Amino acid sequence: MKNILPIIIAAIVGFLLLADFFLDIPAIKGPAAEVQDWGVILAAFALALATINLIGFHIRQIGRKSKDRIHSLILIVGLLATAISGIFMGTDSAIFDFIFRSIYTSLAAAFYAMTAFHLASASYRAFRLKNPLSAALIVSGVLLMLGKAPIGENIWSGFPVIANWIMEVVNVAGSRGILISTAIGSIAMALRVLTGIDRSYLGSGSE
């Protein structure tokens, strides 16, 4: 019974939303919209739960005197300072604004910018002429870069045309193939979950 009830709920909710998406049945529109709203509430609740879990985990890290406890302490102080200033002083208060703009925004942008260095290095290593396939990768990569960067168009007006052709024909053909096979896999997976064959989301495996 412990496993049966969640499977029945998942199946009812899943088939209800599927029917609402694919069929035009006025009677199920209301319940389907209601279930979708529950999903939003659950997602918001999951966020709150995750925050409590995160705080609990890092308090335990500090209690155990873990060697990384300073990071845990910074996380808790940062999390509480942001939450308290936002909830009690408002999101337009000077303190929340300072945390958001001068710390969070700058750090987030810096982390993202750093990936550019790893991308440059990884591309340099990946672009090695070993066989015809790697040659195709190098040629299409160089043509795309020249086609998308302003300098390429200034060298030859044909570069953007070639780049667009690679993006809209070759790339789209490949992406669609991957997308269709992923979609078929997702449908099969969804059916396994909805019919109760796959129960991994309950903490148990397939039957």
Partner 1 sequence: MDFFEKLGQIDNRIIYVLFILAILIPLVTPLGLPVSVSQHTKQAYEVIDSLQPGDTVIIDIGISYSGAGDVLPQTVAMLKHLMSKDVNVIFTGVQMDSSKIIEDLIKPYEEVGKQYGVDFCNLGYLAGGENAIAAYAKDLKKAYPLDFRGNSTDILPILQNVNSVKDAKMFIFFSTQNADMYVRQISEYRVPIVGGLIAQ
Among residues 26, 52, 132, 150, the one that binds partner 1 under rule CB under 8 A: 150
Q: Say if CB 86 and CB 96 are below 8 A apart.
A: yes
Report if residue 113 touches partner 1, rule: CB under 8 A. Answer: yes
Residues whose CB is less than 8 angstroms from the CB of residue 95 and which lie 6 or more positions away in sequence, other chains included: 81, 85, 89
Measured between alpha carbons, how far is 146 from 26 in angstroms, rounded to an integer? 53
- Choose between 73 and 149: whose C-beta lies nearer to partner 1: 149
Amino acid (1-letter code) at residue 191? L
Report if residue 112 touches partner 1, rule: CB under 8 A. Answer: yes
Q: Say if CB 99 and CB 85 are below 8 A apart.
A: yes
Residue 109: count other Cβ atoms within 10 Å of its Cβ.
10
Rounded to a whole number of angstroms, the minimum distance from the CB of residue 206 to partner 1 is: 25
Among residues 52, 67, 125, 207, the one that binds partner 1 under rule CB under 8 A: 125
Q: Say if CB 199 and CB 2 are below 8 A apart.
A: no
Number of residues binding to partner 1, judged by CB under 8 A: 35
Report if residue 154 touches partner 1, rule: CB under 8 A. Answer: yes
Report if residue 164 touches partner 1, rule: CB under 8 A. Answer: yes
- Binding positions for partner 1, rule: CB under 8 A: 21, 33, 36-37, 39-40, 42-44, 46-47, 91-92, 100, 104-105, 108-109, 111-113, 116-117, 120-121, 124-125, 128-129, 150-151, 153-154, 160, 164
